Amino acid sequence: MRAHVITYGCQMNEYDTLTIHSELVAGGHEIVDAPQDAELILLNTCAVRGKPVEKVVSLLGDLRKERRRGRDLTLALMGCLAQLDEGQAIARKFDVDLVIGPGAITDLVPALDAVERRRSDAHASAPGGVERLHFRDDLVDHITPPPPAGTQTGFLTIMRGCDHHCTYCIVPTTRGPEVSRPLEAIMHEARAMHDSGVQEVVLLGQNVNSYGLHDPTLPSFAELLRLVARVGIPRVKFTTSHPMNFTSDVIDAIAGEPNVCTYIHLPVQSGSDRVLRRMAREYRRERYLEIVREIRAKVPDVVLSTDIIVGFPGETEDDFQRTVDLFDEVRFEHAYMFIYSARPGTPAHTHFDDMPREVKTERLGRLIERQKHWALEANRRWIGREVRVLVKERAKDGHYVAGHSDQNHTVLVPADQVRRLGLHRVRVDHATPHTLYGGVLGEREGAVELRLAS
Ligand code: SAH
Ligand code: SF4
Ligand code: F3S
């Protein structure tokens, strides 16, 4: 079949989409770029908040209309939503043919065959689709093919699942318990990326710092980071870190390996111990600040970002103020700030009452303003300095090309100064809260030969 995958959610899902592609191709299917050319549409979904779920429902509504107008289309619901009762109910409502959880991607091709058999067997045309919802062990061994030549960023999943039980979060239900991938699979994939010219690799996991914790034969995350760094890919990033396992050896590895990005995403969720307790986050504010102090002392020019949930059930104005003054203390260069979204099946949804939307929105607005202030302050300090930028694409207005610095700043440089994608030396001359602007000083040796699409 001609197949098209639509991806929602986090980078883990983007990586899973690569695995879905390779499974489909191995099974004799063809990947097409345009959804209108496809006979099979697969939705690789996210369920972390209400919004991504609404997007899927709205797309399924459109696709149902097309089917009713006579388009012959097979539909698969995959990703995190597929694993939930909520997703399975949606699948039934929209006559989705195939429901495959994120732990069962390697079942996709046989399940597609099962859908075909059902269709051709008139007697077995029972209502409902084919479901595969178990967590398959072989998925962690899975090796995705090296990215095509010219790809600059390679995603590399090092672990799957999550053993934490943050009370707001649906991910442990959708992704199952933590499993670390075998070291050989990771190293094989990293070397293949290096050989195909990938300029930056992003190590992925719900909590990358838990890598190897449950298996004494595996290295720790800090050791793994060093091993991957030494493969020679110019830049190594990783996400997401959990403060609980963010130990000194991880900080030392970041400080000690020159190609590990000096950007650390360390979700704190709230600045109030009372809220952290209700969220079942295993650290408290002071421990978080201790980690931040150690990072700032050992990693010069480090850029810190975080995730925040605003308006968690029971968050008082005082609690919220604790988050605001945590921002004043840490001065995060970047933050992903979310309004609490009650997810059916999570302890917070079962046990706590949501608060009025206006209160949450108003608090979010105030926090965004605060964060902008610190981000601008931090970005201004880069004016006049040189950064190394991986130029990736033409920016929206066409006059600039966009890339990321080693500290993960978004950096824009005039398009007429750049002849190829790849790593460049850039002097920063202007800063806004979200972006640095600068001029190219030179290309780094070995910048990949690629013409910019106009
Ligand atoms: N494993 C990662 C993050 C996974 S989800 C970690 O623990 O850091 C990404 C972010 O989504 C979380 O950090 C949290 O800030 C946010 N999030 C998760 N569930 C949410 C919910 N129910 N409502 C709002 N934001 C949520
Ligand atoms: Fe969700 Fe918490 Fe696990 Fe992150 S650590 S995925 S927020 S349960
Ligand atoms: Fe969403 Fe699943 Fe990622 S819920 S954020 S796609 S782990």
Is domain 138-380 classified as CATH 3.80.30.20?
yes
Nearest CA to ligand 2 atom 2: 166
Measure 170 CA to ligand 2 centroid, in angstroms: 8
Mean pLDDT of 343-357: 96
Whether the per-residue pLDDT at 33 is higher than 50: the answer is yes
Query: pLDDT digits over 172-226, tens only?
Result: 999 999 999 999 999 999 999 999 999 999 999 999 999 999 899 999 999 999 9
Ligand 2 within 6 A of CB of 207: yes
Grade residue 421 by pLDDT with cuts at 50, 70 and 90.
confident
What global pTM score does this model have? 0.92
The verdict on the CB of residue 49 being under 6 Å from ligand 2 is no
Pairing outcome for strands 410-414 and 400-405: antiparallel
- Around ligand 3, the residues with Cβ closer than 6 Å are 9-10, 12-13, 46-48, 79-80, 171, 174-175
Indicate whether residue 206 lines ligand 2 (CB < 6 A).
Answer: yes
Pairing relationship of beta strands 30-31 and 2-7 according to DSSP bridges: parallel
Q: Quick check: CB of 168 below 6 Å from ligand 1?
A: yes
Same fold, 2-135 and 386-443: no
Give the model confidence (pLDDT) of 351-384 as tens digits.
999 999 999 999 999 999 999 999 999 999 999 9
Q: Phi first, then psi: give them for residue 17, nearest 5 degrees.
A: -60, -35
| 180 and 134 Cβ atoms separated by less than 8 Å | no
Q: For ligand 2, say whether the CB of 45 is within 6 Å of any of its atoms.
A: no
Q: Tell me which of 3.90.1150.110, 3.40.50.300, 3.30.1780.10, 3.40.50.12160 is the CATH number of domain 2-135.
A: 3.40.50.12160
Position 123 confidence tier, pLDDT thresholds 50, 70, 90: low
Query: Per-domain residue ranges for the chain?
Result: 2-135, 138-380, 386-443
* pLDDT at residue 148, as a whole number: 79
| Stronger pLDDT, 345 or 453, i.e. the higher one | 345
386-443 fold: OB fold (Dihydrolipoamide Acetyltransferase, E2P) (2.40.50)
Q: Tell me if 281 sits within 8 A of 166, measured CB to CB.
A: yes
- Centre of ligand 2 to C-alpha 234, Å, is 30
Torsion angle in degrees (nearest 10) through CA of 451, 191, 21, 112: 170
- For residue 175, give the ligand 3 atom closest to its CA: 7
For residue 341 and ligand 1, the question of a CB distance below 6 A is answered with: yes
* Probe target for ligand 2 pocket from 175, 241, 242, with the most ligand atoms within 8 Å of CB: 242
Is the link from the previous residue into 19 a cis peptide, with omega within 30 of 0?
no
pLDDT band at 243, cuts 50/70/90? very high
d(CA 290, CA 285) in angstroms, rounded, equals: 9
